[in-house]
Structure 1
Amino acid sequence: MLRRRRFKQIRTLNERLEDEVKRLRDEARGLPPGRRREMLLRKARQDEMAMQIDAWLHSPGLRAPT
């Protein structure tokens, strides 16, 4: 049976997403307008949305569905 290789994340999800957004935007800034640039910006927006969803899920006002 194959065993999964597991490792403990040192940085939080939010920290990793912030770094990824910054890296993607920096890379997109250096490219001319086109498909590759739009894909990088789209991924950056998706990561920002993931950060917002994570913040919402960890907010103190969130209650379990009834």
Structure 2
Amino acid sequence: MLQRRRFKQIQSREERLAEQALEMRERAGAMPEGVEKDALLKRARQADTAAHMSEWLASRTLQPPQ
């Protein structure tokens, strides 16, 4: 049976998502207006939302998102 190769993550999931969102926004800033730019900005917003939800779910006192 093959074993999965496991990687030890250095950054938290939230940090990786925030970094990914920042990179997508930077790439979108260098692009002309259009569908591709809109798609990158949408993915950046989704990464931000995922990071916030992950933080919220991991918190000890679950409170509604703000």
One-letter amino acid matched to 2:18:
E
Aligned to 1:53: 53
Unaligned runs of 5+ in 2: none
1:31 maps to 2:31 = yes
Q: Following TM superposition, by how much is the alpha carbon of 1:60 offset from its aligned partner in structure 2, in angstroms?
A: 2.1
SS for the counterpart of 1:60 is coil
SS for the counterpart of 1:9 is coil
Q: CA RMSD in A?
A: 1.5
SS for the counterpart of 2:33 is coil
SS for the counterpart of 1:6 is coil
Which protein has the larger Cα radius of gyration, Structure 1 or Structure 2? 1
One-letter amino acid matched to 2:17:
L
Q: Which runs of structure 1 show a deviation greater than 3 angstroms over 4 or more consecutive aligned residues? A: none
Matched pairs, number: 63
Q: TM-score, normalised by structure 1?
A: 0.84
Which whole-Å CA distance do the structure 1 matches of 2:10 and 2:61 have between them? 27
Q: Percent identity?
A: 42
Q: Following TM superposition, by how much is the alpha carbon of 1:13 offset from its aligned partner in structure 2, in angstroms?
A: 0.8
